Structure 1
Amino acid sequence: MSSGTEHEDRFRRIYADNFEPLLAYAMRRVDQPEDAADVVAETFLVAWRRTREMPPEPEVRLWLHGVARRVLANHHRGGARRGRLGERLKQRLRFAIAVDPGSDVPERLTVRAALARLGELDRDVLMLTFWEGLEPREVATVLRVSPAVVRTRLSRARARLRNLVGDDLGPSGHVLDVMATRTPEEGR
């Protein structure tokens, strides 16, 4: 029997003998059964990678519990990070939703209709600048034109868009404000 086969057989035995006790250990320490399964899977993955470092059979269960304990600690730290990230996302969403998204629909439709009447390059320059927040040099890279062309096109396109939209949207700068707010489908 080869050395590789002996290690595989030993691992199989250790897995069979310790799977259920490790699963019970993990189940008592996590909120969701799926998390316990993940902890046990990760524990045995570490064990597989470190098969040659495992202690002799009588001590291997304790070694596996030590590995599982560290895996659980990582799991809980990750859960705390996910929780903090989720809270930040909820706060951002609350702030974003605080403004009635329907209030600017007429303006948004007017701007979209005006944009459709612009040439493709002018439309791209405006949208990359105001919706994507790119600088003229960045827009130039995306469109493969010079920054000077972008600045010229941007100036002309803004003026043309203002003429197409008219003054019915509010004070000066209104077109840019409406353009700078993304709708959910635009953010995709």
Structure 2
Amino acid sequence: MNVDARRERFASIAPVVIDAVRRYLARRTDPATADDVLSETLLVCWRRRDVMPAEHLPWAYGIARHCLANAERGRRRQARLAARIAVLDPPPQAIDGPAPADDELAVALRAMRAEDAELLRLWAWEDLSPAQIAVVLGVSVNAATIRLHRAKQRLRKLLAPAGHEDSTEGSRP
């Protein structure tokens, strides 16, 4: 494939990738980080356009996932540095505002293991199949299917009203 053909192929799929990855990142981080990670993701996609598979969106989600992880590690390093500096030169006290209201699902997702919450987000928010989730996470389709099933069970338990028995879904009266 010549240079022009590769460039045209990338230009034809870029709008779909940009929109989908932007939504993916917006649900996982703040707007500024999302913009930075989107830029980094597109750069990696451009550099690796020769190895881009036919099903490019899950592949791009996988790249975005890794870029976001790198950005989060950088944010944690900055926070640790700021904490060390704050010990040496404490900032003036800030007035705390009201805590944001959380819905039951957001609370349950935060209570879950990060890996389980990410599986559920990929499935529900990004509307990916287990096969596509496997591409994003770099695991087998079987592993993605099993992990997704278990994550759904854990979420169901967290969302179950207190004092209720297990779901009677699928049972007859």
TM-score relative to the length of structure 2: 0.50
Correspondence for 1:71: 67
Q: Which has the larger radius of gyration?
A: 1
Residue 43 of structure 1: how far off its partner (Å): 0.4
Distance 1:13 1:73 in 2: 27
> Per-residue deviation at 1:91?
1.2
Task: Indicate the SS of the match to 1:94.
Answer: coil
| C-alpha displacement of 1:94 | 3.2
Within 1, Cα distance between the matches of 2:63 and 2:44?
A: 8
Normalising by structure 1, we get a TM-score of: 0.46
Matches within 5 A, 1:115-126: none
- Report deviation, 1:6: 0.5
Q: Superposition pairs for residues 43-62 of structure 1, below 5 Å?
A: 43-56=41-54, 59-62=55-58
Shift of residue 41, structure 1, vs aligned partner? 0.7
More helix by share: 1
Identity among equivalent pairs (%): 37
Secondary structure of 1:75 counterpart: helix
Letter of the aligned partner of 2:82 in structure 1?
Answer: G
Distance in 1 of aligned mates of 2:13 and 2:41: 12
Match for residue 159 of structure 2? none
Query: 2:27 maps to what in 1?
Result: 28
Equivalent position of 1:83 in the other structure: 79
Give 1:89's aligned amino acid.
Answer: I
Runs of 4+ in structure 1 over 2 Å off: none
Please give the alpha-carbon distance, in whole angstroms, between the structure 2 residues aligned to 1:85 and 1:3.
Answer: 47
Question: Which amino acid letter does the alignment assign opposite residue 60 of structure 2?
Answer: L
Query: 2:61, 2:90 → 1: CA distance?
Result: 42
Please name the residue that 2:12 is paired with: 13
Residue 39 (structure 1) aligned to one of 18, 37, 40: 37
Aligned residues: 91
Q: State the distance in 2 between where 1:71 and 1:79 align.
A: 12
Which sections of structure 2, spanning at least 5 residues, go unmatched?
92-173
Task: Give, in angstroms, the shift of residue 11 of structure 1.
Answer: 0.9
Q: Which amino acid aligns with 2:67?
A: V
The SS at the match of 1:48 is helix
| One-letter amino acid of the counterpart of residue 94, structure 1 | P
Q: Show CA shifts across 1:9-54 (max 9, x none).
A: 11111211211111010010002x1111111110010011111111
Structure 1 portions without partners, runs of 5+: 96-188
